Amino acid sequence: MKIICVGRNYVEHIMELNNEFPIDPVIFFKPESSLLKSKNFLHPSFSSEIHHEIELVYEILKKGKDIDKKDAINYISKVGIGIDFTARDIQSHNKKKGLPWGFSKSFDGSAAVSKLISRNKIKDFNAITFLLKKNNILVQKGSSNLMIYKIDFLISYISNFITLEKGDLIFSGTPKGVGKVKIGDKLDGYHENEKILSINIS
């Protein structure tokens, strides 16, 4: 199982981090060990600036390579939300030096995934709303219609380079509002109006 992540996929998030707009999708990976397997995220000691990034997550239904964009939606089995925990201090330091920033994204427990919803319950893949509350205060809100690269394009694009396999997860990018978490915080993620993810920072 692979965790495939898309960076810089929302205009206002690109602007809030002063990043350049991508010509092509920005793709990076998290190992399977990044999956958070409980409701408790243990704040790592190697970073003093862990940020939350809520995202729509798509689970792949079946194996595919060089998938046609027109057929891409048929490769989705389920949809949910996830939090891409990011060590922003490590990422920023390495970016300034032109170095890879893999460890800022791929450390243990850095990928929290909600319960997943069957594709049959999704009315419109281009109008999925989601949000994140931190300590019951709204901090991030997004919709799939605001994605620069929509999921059908992403599935097709990614499959040109690597084979997608059943169970793979695609983290599709985060909207504006990313911010620091600290020990004692509680994060609640919502799909539409339903809370489907709760994480305690400890």
Domain boundaries, the chain: 3-201
- Condensed to tens digits (0 to 9), the pLDDT of residues 41-58 reads 999 999 999 999 999 999
- Condensed to tens digits (0 to 9), the pLDDT of residues 124-173 reads 999 999 999 999 999 999 999 999 999 999 999 999 999 999 999 999 99
Q: Residue 44: which residues within 8 A CB-CB, separation 6 or more?
A: 50, 87, 107, 108
What is the Cα–Cα distance from 201 to 96, expressed in whole angstroms? 28
Percent of the chain clearing pLDDT 70 (strictly above) = 100
What's this model's pTM, rounded to 2 decimal places?
0.95
What is the Cα–Cα distance from 124 to 145, expressed in whole angstroms? 10
pLDDT given for residue 37 in this prediction:
94
CATH of domain 3-201: 3.90.850.10
Radius of gyration (C-alpha) of the chain in whole angstroms: 16
